[in-house]
Amino acid sequence: MAGGALVNSGSGKEYPGKLTLYVLVTCVVAATGGLIFGYDIGISGGVTSMDSFLEKFFPEVHRKQQANRSTNQYCQFDSQLLQTFTSSLYLAALVASFFASGVTRAFGRKWSMFGGGVTFLVGAALNGAAKDVAMLIIGRILLGIGVGFANQSVPVYLSEMAPARLRGMLNIGFQLMITIGILAANLINYGTNKIKGGWGWRVSLALAAVPAGIITVGSLFLPDTPNSLLERGFPDRAQRMLRRIRGTHDVGAEYADLVAASEESKLVENPWANILQRRYRPQIIMALLIPFFQQLTGINVIMFYAPVLFRTLGFGSNASLMSAVITGLVNVFATLVSIFTVDRLGRRKLFLEGGAQMIVCQIVVGTLIEIKFGTSGEGHFPKGYAAIVVLFICAYVAGFAWSWGPLGWLVPSEIFPLEIRSAGQSINVSVNMLFTFVIAQAFLTMLCHMKFGLFYFFGGWVFIMSLFVFFFLPETKNVPIEEMVLVWRKHWFWGRFIADNDVNGVEKPKSGEK
Ligand code: BGC
């Protein structure tokens, strides 16, 4: 099968040791970085659909929405300023993740998490107390800096702490925390929207301090990873830590590999220049395209704007938030599916099944909206009809949650050789944030101009990315990270970029196998 020239060696090294309670607890604490990211994703959509919030900060949008009930539904929320509120966070995160990579390297992962947590706390306080749009946006920028630091350091921390054979599962643990954060935000919005007196949005925004507090305090108790200790010149402490986290004294082999990897990466003075070499071409293309495609699924149209979208479709304010809670629940539970299947079914099957499911749902939702709202944007959903729309939106979210959601973070993190892994990972994070920003900034305007066609637009992109996966993404399940180069070497297309001496030190593919 094209693109499916698989390496499923499963014969990689297995170091002694088990999943200790110590590692489990530290990983759960570290993964709360995902909780914060998720809370931010989920909270803004609900807040921007609250009348009291719009009235106070975006009176023009509010007026338009009140006055235009019977006219074009597609455009009632179109406001650059409102979109800036949502999207400023991601631009800040994009810039901050580059600074974070320096802090993470020089001082250790935990200080990046701590710094991220503190910045978050300040951002949450500013947002909760906001008197004008400026205070709101400055608060969002501080939250964004926190996200940048957390997203840069947490995945690295998790991969370094986890035993190799559980790395995939723990990686998706980070995504699970993201979805729990989104759900918590949706539930909180549902509750605060009921507060009489018009200050419910303050509670929603200020409660970002809770996950921020967890990561700030939690990070102080986190141990450094052995890799980071070695990198910073503490070999004895690194070895002691490795014994502790693996729960055995028999860590010689793993420690030797860590030392070798750290020596090798010290030789690479400038990973940014290195990454441009021909032999890294396949990985760099994946690090650019996977996060780009993940955002072009259109998922954040639902995540950021579900309540606004549902209101646009004629649901009341309360019913809209309730629908967002439902999609949030589907998101969490469908992510669990990927946790339990990703190492058995493999990445490609999940990508392709999830993609097909999303395309069908996007076509159906676009068509259902077209039937009732046409191009004029005038119309109304009868109750039963609305329920069918929500059902297909949920099926779309489920498709994303067991494919492009977790795999968009997992696959880029497992394909890079060590010497350029951190540089590759920061490309992945920044491309993700850039397109999260672009979608957040453009969605309401796109809805206004493309109308129901917006759903076909994203459906078309999912079709393109599914073809890409089919032809160009090799299966990486069960392949030890240090043998990953063989996957590219054996691939019908990418093989041409990998020369024989690029696979030195790793078992060479048998002749005729390529
Ligand atoms: C994506 C986010 C998205 C979330 C939804 C993440 O993997 O990076 O942009 O909002 O999944 O669960």
Walk along the chain (514 residues) and give the pLDDT tens digit of each residue: 333 333 334 445 667 777 889 988 888 888 888 999 999 888 887 788 788 898 898 888 788 777 765 456 667 666 777 778 888 899 999 988 878 777 777 788 889 889 999 999 999 999 999 999 899 999 999 999 999 888 878 887 887 887 777 777 888 888 999 999 999 998 998 899 888 888 999 999 999 999 999 999 999 999 998 888 988 889 999 999 999 999 999 988 888 877 877 777 777 777 677 888 898 999 999 999 999 999 999 998 888 777 777 777 677 777 777 888 889 999 999 999 998 898 889 899 999 999 999 999 999 999 998 888 777 777 677 777 888 888 999 999 999 999 999 999 889 888 887 777 777 878 888 999 999 988 888 877 887 888 888 899 999 999 999 999 999 999 988 776 667 788 899 999 999 998 877 775 554 444 443 3
Which protein residue's CA is at the shortest distance from atom 8 of ligand 1?
A: 405
Which protein residue's CA is at the shortest distance from atom 6 of ligand 1?
A: 405
Q: How far is the CA of 459 from the centre of ligand 1 (A)?
A: 17
Amino acid present at 401 = A
The encoded tokens of residue 65 equal 């929405």
Which residue out of 147, 178, 411 has the highest number of ligand 1 atoms within 8 Å of its CB and is therefore the one to mutate? Answer: 178
Which protein residue's CA is at the shortest distance from atom 1 of ligand 1?
A: 405
Give the DSSP H or E segment for 488: helix 484-490
Q: Largest alpha-carbon pair distance within the chain?
A: 74
**Residue found by looking up tokens 């990466």 in the block:** 265
Q: How far is residue 443 CA from its own chain's centroid?
A: 18
Which protein residue's CA is at the shortest distance from atom 10 of ligand 1?
A: 300
Give the burial class of 11: count Cβ atoms within 10 A of its Cβ; 0-12 exposed, 13-18 middle, 19 or more buried: exposed
**Residue among 494, 441, 435 nearest 461 (CA):** 435
The encoded tokens of residue 284 equal 């760099």
Distance, in Å, from the CA atom of 509 to the CA atom of 512, rounded to the nearest integer, reads 8
Sign of the Cα torsion 261, 267, 272, 278 reads negative
pLDDT at residue 481 in the model: 66
Distance, in Å, from the CA atom of 169 to the CA atom of 171, rounded to the nearest integer, reads 5
Q: How far is the CA of 349 from the centre of ligand 1 (A)?
A: 20
| H-only helix segments in 78-132 | 80-107, 109-128
Q: How far is the CA of 34 from the centre of ligand 1 (A)?
A: 10
Q: Which atom of ligand 1 is found nearest the CA of 41?
A: 10
Which protein residue's CA is at the shortest distance from atom 3 of ligand 1?
A: 300
Q: How far is the CA of 399 from the centre of ligand 1 (A)?
A: 13
Which residue out of 35, 43, 89, 175 has the highest number of ligand 1 atoms within 8 Å of its CB and is therefore the one to mutate? Answer: 175
Which protein residue's CA is at the shortest distance from atom 11 of ligand 1?
A: 405
Distance, in Å, from the CA atom of 417 to the CA atom of 428, rounded to the nearest integer, reads 15
Which residue out of 294, 329, 358 has the highest number of ligand 1 atoms within 8 Å of its CB and is therefore the one to mutate? Answer: 294
Distance, in Å, from the CA atom of 4 to the CA atom of 353, rounded to the nearest integer, reads 15
pLDDT at residue 76 in the model: 63
Q: Check if the beta carbon of residue 407 is closer than 8 Å to that of residue 349.
A: no
Q: How far is the CA of 405 from the centre of ligand 1 (A)?
A: 6
**Residue among 433, 353, 463 nearest 95 (CA):** 433
Map 380-440 to HEC letters.
Answer: CCCHHHHHHHHHHHHHHHHHHHCCHHHHHHHHHHHCCCHHHHHHHHHHHHHHHHHHHHHHH
pLDDT at residue 131 in the model: 94
Which protein residue's CA is at the shortest distance from atom 7 of ligand 1?
A: 405
Q: Which atom of ligand 1 is found nearest the CA of 331?
A: 12
Q: How far is the CA of 439 from the centre of ligand 1 (A)?
A: 12
Which residue out of 43, 183, 303 has the highest number of ligand 1 atoms within 8 Å of its CB and is therefore the one to mutate? Answer: 303
pTM: 0.87
Q: Which atom of ligand 1 is found nearest the CA of 404?
A: 7
Amino acid present at 158 = L
Q: Which atom of ligand 1 is found nearest the CA of 405?
A: 7
Q: Which atom of ligand 1 is found nearest the CA of 300?
A: 10
**DSSP letter string, 165-184:** GGHHHHHHHHHHHHHHHHHH
Q: How far is the CA of 37 from the centre of ligand 1 (A)?
A: 9
Ligand 1 cavity residues, CB under 6 Å:
41, 175, 178-179, 182, 294, 299-300, 303, 331, 405, 408-409, 432, 436
Q: Check if the beta carbon of residue 439 is closer than 8 Å to that of residue 445.
A: no
